[in-house]
A = this chain, B = another copy of it.
Amino acid sequence: MIYTCTLNPAVDYKFNLENVNIGKLNRVENANFFAGGKGINVSIVLKNLGTDSIATGFLGGFTGDFIKSTLKNRNIKYEFIDIELPSRFNVKIKHPHMETEINADGPHISNSKMSELLIFIQEMKKDDLLITGGSTCKGQPEAHGVIAQICHEHGIPFVMDTPGKYYSQFLKYKPFLVKPNIQELGDYYGTKITKVEQAIFYGKKLLEEGAERVIISMGKNGSIYLDQYYIYRSNLIHSKVTSSVGSGDSMVAGFISSYLSDKDTQKAYQFAVAVAQATTFHEGLATYETTMKYYYDVNVKEISK
């Protein structure tokens, strides 16, 4: 079974507004709520692609209930650690040419609640796989490292998709896959990456430090896949970007979903790129139908090591 873990899930409150009139009363119509957070997005995309997963992490309060009901409505299983304080709530305002985000820090997680999650993870099996990432939760700055260590010790393959600052916590525990974007990769190595050659150079470094597979997303420049045998490159199909929110999570879901069924790396990477594009070029997260619009046009080139 695939498990996804979200340490600090969120309800995203989204609406359109020409401008925010500071100090005034602003009225909005058609505001909507969405369940958000990296692991939850991955679980949703996996389900859309026909792959089951169990979502875990911490959930609390009425915002946590909303996230549970969203998963339930999509027939996604979950086993969250219940906390007392409400889960995080983010406000996302879409203006004509930009977006304003107001993100809260989310509830504090006690050591005993963290232990409950770690015990749950320990009980996973060697043929399970854990996909986790995002920022950590308040009170648990080392959570990514501890989770990675436990997975490593128990032989549970895990995918970590986090901001660069967390990489030093978990690379040594040999993640099955990491998926930095070039900004995150640069953050980790204290540099600014602009060229594909640089991305490959630092991607190889991630492999040396412990990652088994690396996908580096580069926005308009497409992406790169690296493992100890292969380097692949794929360009982005040029199309109008609707929203890039969740495209990284879609890439992870796409790779895992395809790889676990076929064990074919190149095919899984091609599928991952198509899923990410389906999320980027359409409203909402990728579905199997939108993914297949892109799959056969995705061009994956092998690059010699």
- Residues of chain A at the chain B interface (Cβ within 8 Å): 13, 15, 17, 19-29, 31, 33, 61-63, 65-66, 69, 86, 89, 91, 93, 95, 98-105
CA distance A39 to B65 in the complex (A): 25
| Nearest-Cβ distance from residue A195 to partner chain B, whole angstroms | 26
- CB of A100 within 8 A of CB of B62, answer no
Q: Identify which of B24, B25, B27, B89 contacts A105 (C-beta below 8 A).
A: B27
Given contacts A19-B22, A20-B22, 7 further A-B contacts (CB under 8 A): A13-B89, A20-B100, A27-B102, A29-B105, A31-B89, A33-B86, A65-B65
Residue of B nearest to A97 (CB): B23
| Nearest-Cβ distance from residue A103 to partner chain B, whole angstroms | 6
How many copies of the shown chain assemble into the complex?
2
Q: Identify which of B24, B26, B95 contacts A23 (C-beta below 8 A).
A: B95
Q: Which B residues are CB-close (under 8 A) to A26?
A: 100-103
- CB of A103 within 8 A of CB of B28, answer yes
Q: Which B residues are CB-close (under 8 A) to A101?
A: 24-26
Q: Identify which of B13, B24, B98, B103 contacts A22 (C-beta below 8 A).
A: B98
Residue of B nearest to A62 (CB): B66
| 9 A/B residue pairs, CB under 8 Å, sorted by A | A17-B102, A21-B100, A25-B103, A26-B101, A27-B102, A27-B105, A28-B105, A33-B86, A62-B65
Q: Identify which of B25, B62, B93, B100 contacts A63 (C-beta below 8 A).
A: B62
Q: Which B residues are CB-close (under 8 A) to A31?
A: 89, 104
CA distance A97 to B86 in the complex (A): 28
- CB of B62 within 8 A of CB of A29, answer no
CA distance A63 to B86 in the complex (A): 12
Q: Which B residues are CB-close (under 8 A) to A91?
A: 13, 91, 102
Residue of B nearest to A100 (CB): B22
- CB of A104 within 8 A of CB of B29, answer yes
Most central of A17, A69, A102 by chain B CB within 10 Å: A102
| Nearest-Cβ distance from residue A32 to partner chain B, whole angstroms | 9
- CB of A102 within 8 A of CB of B28, answer yes
CA distance A162 to B3 in the complex (A): 51
| Nearest-Cβ distance from residue A83 to partner chain B, whole angstroms | 15
Most central of A24, A103, A104 by chain B CB within 10 Å: A104
